[in-house]
């Protein structure tokens, strides 16, 4: 019998699924559209059922908010998501009905952070802070080599921001208007400038604002979690010129208060790209199987 | 032989020292003025030498910044403090010369957080966030029952703040002017209003500003660390009316985004008062002796 690990990266628009071996090595992968739990999960079960006898554990990273605290009743659930069909869906309960093996359940950003921690930019560090900037903004955190959760999981997209002095855009967050996500996510950039982020050229004012907000977020994360490395992923961070702009703003804001590694080694882009999440899920399955 | 624990809360103006038993029970305590390492530590050693044969471990919380990462060369040191005499003082190295027992070394705010976690307001919770607002602002963090450190320790006093719209005070922080500490610590209140915080009456505008900044800090801590409880200590937080003002501002800022316990049980004053630190140090000595 071959021992296999199961991995699910449950995103708001699509699920990535995979089975594989140790060290994040993928045997087979698939993509499933996120529609309703009934429909999407039926396909998830179809995928894994082929390997049912060999899968010894699962690593699952889900869009949120999700219940991650085993002491609370909502553990294993997707909770009050704006995706109505998925509200209060008992993800782990449903998985356990099908597969009676250990499961590591955490956020989609935490699995990506773990992937980067083991095989990516964060592989030499115990404390890895990963932030994705795309349709939304969220962070995954590894502390002392473990996926971080408190009472709930981090929700860094909603940090209160000091505004860039020239930025009058009201913000897109339905809860807070001009929190980090409301000012800096992809849809906020598009709403502010009337063009998608990837259509804006390198010298566009948009990037000055973006760097200002992401540097401010990096500052706050440094002052709270004190990670060894600060990794940015997601669609918006694919702009290569943006990293240096963030580093420059960050240095100005920090003003030498904390001694840090060279910022080129501290504020970095994701190194596993879009695979960080599914590889991280596989690695977490391996970890929970031990 | 009686087994005793040694405790040091090393503050910028005074050291509290104690020996005691399990469960934070103090046998003998003392206070020593913070002058130079030579002078202050000579008195520290005099105090503990009486119990040298019985002390089986130490818990030490120090003013900072300090080196807390065992992988870095500055572990056990007070590092680049503005107190010149204490810069690069090898605190743990010096202690180990005198006492060859296990030592738990962390920040002064982390020992207070641990005291509150075991015997105070946070005693039913795994994740406790403690913030002191006095001469400075700093936070101690307990996650999963352990003192939190990353690469370094949290430095929450220097978070970037959104300004209260009516606040034009430039701020007192020598590094950042108007960070959290620069706008909300005791000396900032005094510099802004020309009176010490404890002389300002309950209806003074000062408290509206203060609640705004502390609520904003509580929001950012909730969105990053996601603690079970948010405890405020230090001189400024002794204003009883301030807690409700912080809760009200916090509720407005969060705007229902995260489901939390009743805010009266979530945002609370320190319950061990000024003893949180020395009791926490004693409890950490007990923990490290195991």
Residue B90: beta bridge partners?
Answer: B77
Same domain (yes/no): B264, B136? yes
User: So what's the ipTM on this one?
Assistant: 0.95
Same domain (yes/no): B266, B126? yes
Mutate to test the interface with A, among B77, B160, B175 (most CBs of A within 10 A): B160
Mutate to test the interface with B, among A68, A74, A217, A226 (most CBs of B within 10 A): A226
A112 inside domain: no
B285 inside domain: yes
Rounded to the nearest angstrom, the minimum Cα separation between B53 and chain A is: 35
- Per-residue pLDDT tens for B102-149? 999 999 999 999 999 999 999 999 999 999 999 999 999 999 999 999
* Domain residue limits at B168: 121-271
The partner residue sitting opposite B154, judged by closest CB among A158, A175, A226, is A226
Chain A environment of B151 (Cβ under 8 Å) = 127, 226-228
> Dihedrals φ, ψ of B47, to 5°?
-60, -50
Same domain (yes/no): B259, B154? yes
Same domain (yes/no): B96, B125? no
Q: What is the pTM assigned to this prediction?
A: 0.96
DSSP code for A164:
P
A192 inside domain: yes
Same domain (yes/no): B78, B133? no
Distance separating alpha carbons of residues B144 and B141, to the nearest angstrom? 10
Residue among A21, A20, A38 at smallest CA distance from A29: A20
Map tokens 């971080």 to a residue: A148
Same domain (yes/no): B9, B91? yes
Distance separating alpha carbons of residues A244 and A250, to the nearest angstrom? 10
Enter the tokens of residue B18.
Answer: 């104690």
Chain A environment of B65 (Cβ under 8 Å) = 258
Residue among B87, B93, B82, B70 at smallest CA distance from B151: B70
Q: At what angle do helices A186-193 and A205-224 cross, to 10 degrees?
A: 150
Instruction: Please tell me which residue of chain A has the smallest CA distance to B213.
Output: A160
B38 inside domain: yes
Same domain (yes/no): B146, B97? no
A222 inside domain: yes
Tell me the average pLDDT across A201-223.
97
Same domain (yes/no): A100, A126? no
Chain B environment of A223 (Cβ under 8 Å) = 154-156, 158-159
- Per-residue pLDDT tens for B191-211? 999 999 999 999 999 999 999
Same domain (yes/no): B174, B221? yes
A-to-B residue pairs, Cβ atoms closer than 8 angstroms? 109
Same domain (yes/no): A26, A47? yes
Same domain (yes/no): B155, B257? yes
Enter the tokens of residue B271.
Answer: 């319950």
Tell me the average pLDDT across B228-235.
95
Q: For the domain that residue A260 is a member of, what is the CATH number?
A: 3.30.420.40
Enter the tokens of residue B288.
Answer: 């490290």
- Name the pLDDT band for A280 (thresholds 50, 70, 90): very high
Angle at A25 between CA A7 and CA A130, to 5 degrees: 65
A20 inside domain: yes
Q: Provide the b/e sequence for A251-277 (b: ≥16 CB within 10 Å).
A: eebbeebbebeebeebbbbbbbeebbb
Q: At what angle do helices B91-98 and B37-49 cross, to 10 degrees?
A: 30
């Amino acid at each position: 019998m071959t021992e296999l690990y199961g991995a699910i990266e449950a995103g708001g628009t699509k699920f990535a699924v995979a089975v594989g071996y140790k060290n994040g090595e993928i045997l087979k992968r698939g993509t499933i559209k996120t529609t309703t739990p009934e429909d999407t999960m039926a396909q998830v079960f179809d995928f894994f059922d082929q390997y049912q006898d060999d899968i010894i554990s699962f690593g699952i990273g889900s869009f949120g908010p999700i219940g991650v605290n085993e002491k609370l009743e909502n553990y294993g659930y997707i909770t009050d998501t704006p995706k109505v069909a998925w509200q209060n869906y008992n993800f782990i309960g449903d998985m356990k009905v099908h597969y009676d093996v250990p499961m590591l359940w955490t956020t989609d950003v935490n699995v990506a952070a773990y992937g980067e921690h083991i095989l990516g930019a964060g592989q030499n560090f115990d404390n890895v802070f990963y932030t994705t900037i795309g349709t939304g903004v969220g962070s995954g955190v590894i502390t002392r080599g473990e996926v971080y959760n408190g009472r709930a999981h981090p929700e860094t997209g909603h940090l209160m921001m000091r505004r860039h002095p020239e930025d009058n855009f009201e913000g897109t967050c339905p809860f807070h208007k001009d929190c980090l996500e409301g000012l800096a996510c992809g849809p906020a950039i598009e709403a502010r400038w009337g063009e998608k982020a990837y259509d804006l050229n390198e010298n566009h004012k948009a990037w000055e604002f973006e760097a200002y907000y992401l540097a401010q977020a990096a500052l706050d994360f440094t002052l709270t979690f004190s990670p060894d490395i600060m990794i940015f992923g997601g669609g918006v961070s694919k702009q290569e010129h943006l990293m240096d702009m963030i580093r420059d703003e960050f240095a100005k804001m920090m003003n030498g208060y904390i001694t840090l590694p060279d910022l080129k080694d501290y504020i970095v882009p994701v190194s596993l790209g879009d695979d960080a999440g599914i590889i991280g899920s596989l690695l977490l399955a391996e970890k929970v199987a031990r």
